[in-house]
Amino acid sequence: MPLKNAIDLTGRRILLTGAAGGIGAATARACAALGAAKLVLADNGPMDDLCDELRDQGVDISPHQCDVSRRQDNADLVAAAGDIDAAVACAGICPLEEDWADDPEWDQVFHRVMDVNLLGPIHLVRELLPRMAARGGGQIVLIGSIGGRMGGTSPIVQPHYIASKGGVHALIWWLAQRAAPQGVLVNGIAPGPIATTMTATTPYPKDRYPLGRIGEPEEIAWPAAFLCSPAASYFSGSILDVNGGLFVG
């Protein structure tokens, strides 16, 4: 008997934060292409075009404005979302211009980066985990970074970003051990440099990369969609290194 393709999101309800960003929007499109029945899209910016595009494909879209750094925003988002089968936390920031050694205001930026990149996923999972457990399971994907693996790939990437993404990786491992017995699978992706607005002004010398280029948002979106699918039913505490061979560990 031929195997059924399990990389299939037919009928699934998926929540995405950071949906207006490059990786978030690409992940929404990938989930839609794999048959997701409902996408709950959250961002602190506009995403009208993306919502219209996906609705035209027949997907039930529920947009929400949300500052992931605020606990109540996450609580309101998850309450409004209803039953969710999987979630992908794509929201993140990476300020590049501050001087971490000499700027007297840098500590404030550090706290903002931590609030969005690390506390944001904590807020989200805090709300999702008991609801998923009560329904018998679910899948959660957190987006880390190659920077959390090897300290960054550009000299202008600041330590607040590196620390926040290293924290996301540790959080994935911590959560996975506690969530798996409840039927909830927590995994992550550590992307290399990806061509989004976040990296548009960052110099990434092509000769440093085995593939001679940085990645595209879709190259993170498809692994994220996979981790939301039945095909990833035995993944728990995994962090997929999707970086074109730049880091192997």
**Separation between Cα atoms, residue 20 and residue 105, nearest integer Å:** 28
Q: Is 62 a known active-site residue?
A: no
Q: Is 209 a known active-site residue?
A: no
Residue among 69, 145, 164, 236 flagged as catalytic = 145
Q: Is 165 a known active-site residue?
A: yes
Residue among 38, 161, 164, 229 flagged as catalytic = 161
Residue among 165, 209, 229, 236 flagged as catalytic = 165
Q: Is 62 exposed, middle or buried (0-12, 13-18, 19+ CB in 10 A)?
A: middle
* Residues known to be catalytic: 145, 161, 165
